[in-house]
Amino acid sequence: MTADQAVADTQAVEITRKDLNKVFWRSLSIMASLNYERFLAVGRTYIMLPVLRKLYKGEELKKTLHRYLEFFLTHPYFANPIAGIQIAMEEERAKGAPIDEDAIRGVATGLMGPLAGVGDPLFWGTIRSIIGGLCASLALAGNAIAPFLFVILWNIPHYFVRGTLLYKGYDMGMGLVKEFRETGILQRITEGASIMGMTAIGALVALWVSVKFSPLEFSFGEAVFNVQSLLDSIFPNMLPLGLTLLLASLLAKKFNVNLLIIILIGIGLLGAFLGFMA
């Protein structure tokens, strides 16, 4: 597509407080379309729709929708500050600022891992254990206030992250965008975010992808081999790494995603049925 077409498909309009409010209300249900392949992809596209349909149309809207339907996984509450920054960037981009698609994408891929790393232990670990422990003890003592107390105490930090940080992210995004323009550091930010994202993904593969053989043992004469511990002694997490790289290369060759997923589920069921995986 030429630059002229891109301009024709964008609309230089202000994103108002009202639009941000729409995004906020939608963001509450971000988890509703959670799936194993791209996790919050549909959810965040749903959240961004009020803004995207205002800024883009035609081919440009199509491209943007596909851009948001990409892999996205973070703590559900912390998806909002990311959305705030991205809204600001989309708005400036639609107004003709030289903001690369990769820069907007980089905000999500660069921030989602670290924000999940903050959000999961903070909310599910610290805050929930404290409030849950407190309210459950009150409830066991026969105090009817306990469930209501839990709802109130939980929703103070909840709405701070989802509400306040959405609007803050938007304001900050505007500031960031201005800075990009004045100093021309956009490309550098994009590259920096790619490096950060890549480093984080490397860690996420090690932490979240799990491929394990059962403690299978083969014996050759006196020697006994345990497949998994043998593999681990060469290179722990070698199978998750190998699987991820294999899938990346298959996907790069336009291998059918659905088929890959069905094959993986089949391997899982077969692995449990025959007992060679755990």
Partner 1 sequence: MFLKALYVGIVGGVLSMDVYGWGTLAAMGRPVVLGPILGLFMGDFWTGLWVGATIEFMFLGVIPTGAAIPPDATMSALGATALAILLGGDRATAIALAVPLALLGQLAQVIVWQVNAFFLHKADDFAEKLNLKGIENMHYTGMFLFFLRGFVPIFLGVWLGVEPVQNFMNALPEWVSPGLGIAAGLLPAVGFGMLLNMIGLKRYWPYFLVGFTLATFFSVGIVPIAILGLCLGFVIVTLKSMTQKPSEAEAF
Residue among 55, 60, 39, 137 at smallest CA distance from 89: 55
User: Is there binding between residue 65 and partner 1 (CB under 8 A)?
Assistant: yes
Distance between CA atoms of 37 and 134, rounded to whole angstroms?
A: 37
Distance between CA atoms of 47 and 25, rounded to whole angstroms?
A: 8
Output the smallest distance, CB 169 to partner 1, in A. Answer: 17
Output the smallest distance, CB 26 to partner 1, in A. Answer: 9
| Residue entry with tokens 């400036």 | 92
Q: How many residues bind partner 1 (CB under 8 A)?
A: 115
One residue of 1, 151, 175, 230 binding partner 1 per CB under 8 A: 151
User: Is there binding between residue 7 and partner 1 (CB under 8 A)?
Assistant: no
User: Is there binding between residue 228 and partner 1 (CB under 8 A)?
Assistant: no
Cβ 75 vs Cβ 113: under 8 Å: no
Cβ 68 vs Cβ 19: under 8 Å: no
One residue of 96, 98, 178, 188 binding partner 1 per CB under 8 A: 188
One residue of 191, 215, 218, 225 binding partner 1 per CB under 8 A: 191
Q: Per-residue x/- mask for partner 1, residues 194 to 223, rule CB under 8 A? A: xxxxxxxxxxxxxxxxxxx-----------
Distance between CA atoms of 60 and 5, rounded to whole angstroms?
A: 9
Q: Residue 275 corresponds to which tokens in the numbers above?
A: 């007992």
Supply the angle between the helices 41-55 and 58-68 in degrees, to the nearest 10. 160
Binding part of the chain for partner 1, among 15-23, 31-39, 85-93, 164-172 by CB under 8 A, reads 31-39
Q: Per-residue x/- mask for partner 1, residues 232 to 251, rule CB under 8 A? A: ----xx--xx-xxxxxx-xx
